[in-house]
Chain A
Amino acid sequence: MTDPFSLTAMDIFRFATHIGLTHYLLLAALLFAIGLFGLLTRRGIIPALMCVELMLNAVNINLVAFNHYLPMPDHSGQLMAIFSIAVAAAEIAIGVALAFRVYRDRNTVNLDDLDHLKG
């Protein structure tokens, strides 16, 4: 590995044009960070669930990319990604049902307004 400060224009050009594992990992990290940021800042139930969905999709990109680039691919990464998609769907289904339920009881889907439980 060369010193990062001695990057030539050619190196940068090569990084930008040859898609490799790093690009997928960077994309996944970015998606995960956006999702986590949204989960911590957005206060509605539905946006929070959408952010979780972003984080889980970041995981899927990671898993599939690693599976492709690992020296001895055994498809377990792809398998895990399929299970993670299924679990995400189940969580969202329950999440939306609970959002309906809370809206019926409390007339709001804002997480900050759900403050009846405290000690």
Chain B
Amino acid sequence: MDFMAVQTEILILILLLATLVMDLAIAKGASRRPVAYLTAAGLAAIFAHTCGLFHEGDSPVFCMGLFIADNYALFFKQLFLLGMIFTVLFSLDYAEKCLTCAGEFYSLLLSALLGMCVMASANDFLTAFIGLELMTVSFYILVGFRLSSADSGEAAVKYLVVGAGSTAVMLYGISLVYGTGGSLDFAVVCQNVHLFYAAGLAGTVLVIVGFFFKLSVIPFHMWAPDVYQGAPTPVTALLAMASKAAGLAVFMRVLFAAFPFLGEYWLPVVAGFSALSIIGGNLLAIRQTDLKRMLAYSSIAQAGYMMAGIAAANYPGVKAVMFYAMLYVFANVGAFAVLSVVDAERGGTSQRHVTGLSQAAPLLAAVMTISLLSMAGIPPTAGFAGKIYIFTAAVDRGHLWLAFIGFVMSMISVYYYLQVTKAMYRDLAPEEEALAAPLRVPPAAKAVALISAAATLAAGICPEGLAILTNLASRTFMQ
């Protein structure tokens, strides 16, 4: 029992309990801002602590290899922590204005974060399942957290029914893999030749389908747009960046640690569904008018790009996926920081609501544009570097067609991203003059927006810093 391996999770759990107690200690009706400050400060401290945990050599494991704290897991934990800190900061005003139980909101965010961290470290189907469920169950509540909006409840119910069904499918797959592989441990499962029996292959298929549901890969995506649109804006941001990255982290570990010898079966499947998601996500995003819904389809396409990196199934591919996941966090934080300010001030997130933003809040409009360009992959933003890494890895593996599809669809995606920019920057009609009135932007949201835009540009102009970190992290994983 090496408790040093689970120190990040223990710290997050302590913080979670502290926020719960603090929420109880604050008088009824008083502002819950101190809880948010505690959450953000605690998470920042944990983030600083995890920076010192990167290591060379053997990684600490907990409980007979159930749980492993290697550099790969640490990188993803830092990614979740970053996403969570920024989300807490930019949702300060949103939470106070739109959510009824703001104190519990932060505790639930932390329990979702705990689930994600467990997922990133999972080295056994049991751990992966517990982490996944801790995250998903917290998100069911978070999606329905906006009690004043009926859409939020509707989204939560849809998420719950689809999520519970996909969990059952994945668990059935895990039970078949357990039966043929003889264990739940990735390292034991991967060595068992019985996995090649029909039952083992069926189990593998069901596990992969379960992950496709969680990652909202086309054709298992139908829940994502509704859930993204109905959920409170900060929760949508987390669903798009952190929950998706957590799913990818554990998906990659399952594929490369538990099913590496089935590679010739699942590689074409992952490549095919990746292409389908890239094409479908980008085409369906074109006709959306609600920005959250548009970003949902865009996140489906982004999951497709990241799966193209997985389909490369080599060390540069994993590195590219991790790089892309990190810069996607920065782009998403920028876009959703702007959206949650707009949502709180103007009461909606459709294109109509961001019209005239360049005059009402020039900084927000600029940040939004940079973030969207990064998602589209236009230089000098980080998205360009990320896509180059992914497409190079895919071409190295011989998936030239996949890189070609990705390249063409990125060009098409520029269209719908720039539609938003056009709405923000176009001249206002005389009857719309009211939209030009300056928008009150909370300082925390402004700071987060600026940091995310700066990070997006910095990672795009000199990607070496982030690339060194992803090199280190993927090296211990792929060996």
Contact = CB atoms under 8 A, between A and B. Distances in A.
A117 B165 contact: no
Interface in B388-415: none
A80 B229 contact: no
Given A55-B169, A56-B171, A62 B157 contact: no
Interface in A87-119: 87, 90-91, 94-95, 98-99, 101-102, 105-106, 111, 114, 116-119
Interface string B143-158: 0100100110111111
A76 B183 contact: yes
Interface residues of A, number: 44
Nearest to A79: B126
A116 B150 contact: yes
- Give the secondary structure class of A's interface: helix
Contacts of A83: 126, 129-130
B183 to A, nearest CB: 7
A67 B20 CA distance: 39
Nearest to A93: B137
A22 to B, nearest CB: 11
A99 B150 contact: no
Contacts of B125: 80
Contact of B179 (A32, A49, A70, A101): A70
Nearest to B164: A52
A117 B157 CA distance: 12
Contacts of B130: 83, 87
A70 B185 CA distance: 15
B175, B185, B289 pick with most chain A CB within 10 angstroms: B175
A59 B154 contact: no
B157 A80 contact: no
Interface string B218-236: 0000000110011000000
A42 B129 CA distance: 27
B47 interface: no
B164 A117 contact: no
A56 to B, nearest CB: 5
A49 B260 CA distance: 35
B440 interface: no
Given A56-B168, A66-B178, A99-B157, A76 B126 contact: yes
Given A66-B175, A66-B179, A119-B289, A102 B164 contact: no
A102 B157 contact: yes
Nearest to A113: B154
Interface residues of B, number: 45
Given A80-B178, A106-B150, A62 B137 contact: no
B168 A35 contact: yes
A90 to B, nearest CB: 5
B288 A119 contact: yes
Contacts of A90: 133, 137
Contacts of B229: 117, 119
A72 B182 contact: yes
A105 B157 contact: no
B109 to A, nearest CB: 16
A80 B126 contact: yes
B150 A105 contact: yes
B161 A48 contact: yes
A32 B175 CA distance: 12
A118 B225 CA distance: 8
A71 interface: yes
B384 interface: no
Contacts of A101: 144, 147, 153, 156
Contacts of B161: 39, 45, 48-49, 52, 95, 111
B287 A91 contact: no
Given A71-B182, A83-B129, A49 B164 contact: yes
B137 A80 contact: no
Contacts of A70: 179, 182
15 contacts: A36-B165, A55-B168, A58-B172, A66-B179, A77-B175, A80-B125, A87-B130, A87-B167, A90-B133, A91-B133, A95-B164, A98-B144, A98-B157, A111-B157, A119-B225
Interface of B: 125-126, 129-130, 133, 137, 140-141, 144, 147, 150-151, 153-158, 160-161, 164-165, 167-169, 171-172, 174-176, 178-179, 182-185, 225-226, 229-230, 287-290, 293
Interface of A: 25, 28, 32, 35-36, 39, 45, 48-49, 52, 55-56, 58-59, 62-63, 66, 70-72, 74, 76-77, 79-80, 83-84, 87, 90-91, 94-95, 98-99, 101-102, 105-106, 111, 114, 116-119
